Amino acid sequence: MIVIACPGQGSQTPGFLAPWLELPGARDFLGEASEHAGVDLIAHGTQSDADTIRDTAIAQPLIVAASLLAWRELSARVSIADAGIAGHSVGEFAAAAAAGVLTEAEALRLVAVRGRAMADAAARADTGMAAVVGGGEADVLAKIDEHGLTPANRNGGGQIVAAGSRASLDALAADAPRGARVIALQVAGAFHTDAMASAIPLLREAAEGVTPTDPRHPLWTNADGSRVTDGGRFVDLLVSQIANPVRWDACMAGFEAAGITGLVELAPAGALTGIAKRALKGTPAVAIKTPDDLDAAVALVTGPAA
């Protein structure tokens, strides 16, 4: 089984959408997506600087729209009807649309609410996130707990993301677990922790306005890595994941149990394929960073491994 992976926040870089606008219909799609999200995605994806697109209210719809554009382009080139789908954190909104649980418009409207609500929650305290790369899992988790932080993302491949106050993250960086590096992430708050609890009611209220359907593809949840077959339940999980840890390690275990033969990461890609190379050793992976990468993705989907 080929798995299509939708990336999370932090994967965006200045100007990354520019080459996509050369594709027929891409500008129209992003224009419509901008209307749904209430954000000028074309301007932010081509002209805005790194600080601007780090803003949670901008970054989240920008990433989801980019993933959906890449999904459209890949689908137009090759049949991926049998592919599995999963998203990392905010990438679950793109995954929901790709799997047919939500329409693209619903996913973009909801993620815009999510981004604004999380930005507001993040502004209430000086918090952030840092990746702890390497070290033994037990030692890393113990050190995170020692400094009063939360293991917000357990990504597998030797990477756990700690979240909490900036002061505690600085203390963790100065007291890194044996054999590990602590790398500050370019996000604006302690996502997937109790610090985001105030965002949940706003997203829940917005989610009451959508009509989910059951997924057309195998679909995994960040909550625990299990397969979700009920669209309504998946939307409930989209709401609650704001303040709960992302278990990408469990998702990858689910991919392996399903017999994964390859992984394709949608734009703006790179992080999840990097993790896959360490955690899913021997599984071919393609990151669709620009339209030039679509041919490699098609080759993986249609090749002998598939």
Report the CATH number that the domain containing residue 132 is assigned in CATH.
3.30.70.250
Same domain, 40 and 61: yes
Name the residue range of residue 221's domain.
2-123+193-302
Query: Which is the catalytic residue, given 36, 44, 192, 217?
Result: 192
Domain edge (last residue) among 166, 184, 202: 184
Same domain, 21 and 65: yes
Domain edge (last residue) among 144, 164, 184: 184
Give Cα 249 to chain centroid, integer Å.
13
Same domain, 131 and 58: no
Same domain, 114 and 131: no
CATH code at position 270? 3.40.366.10
Catalytic residue status for 88: no
Same domain, 149 and 239: no
Same domain, 206 and 91: yes
Query: Which is the catalytic residue, given 88, 89, 147, 217?
Result: 89
> Does 136 score more than 90 pLDDT?
yes
Name the percent of the chain lying above pLDDT 90: 97
Same domain, 71 and 203: yes
Catalytic residue status for 89: yes
Count of structural domains, the chain:
2
Q: What is the pTM of this model?
A: 0.96
Same domain, 139 and 222: no
Give pLDDT tens digits for 231-279. 999 999 999 999 999 999 999 999 999 999 999 999 999 999 999 999 9
Give pLDDT tens digits for 7-44. 999 899 999 999 999 999 999 999 999 999 999 999 99
Same domain, 45 and 65: yes
Same domain, 283 and 252: yes
Res 186: pLDDT? 77
> Does 154 score more than 80 pLDDT?
yes
Instruction: Note whether 266 and 6 are within 8 A (CB).
Output: yes
**In which residue are the tokens 């339940």 written?**
233
Same domain, 277 and 242: yes
Same domain, 82 and 10: yes
Rounded to whole angstroms, the Cα distance separating 199 from 147 reads: 25
Domain edge (last residue) among 184, 204, 232: 184
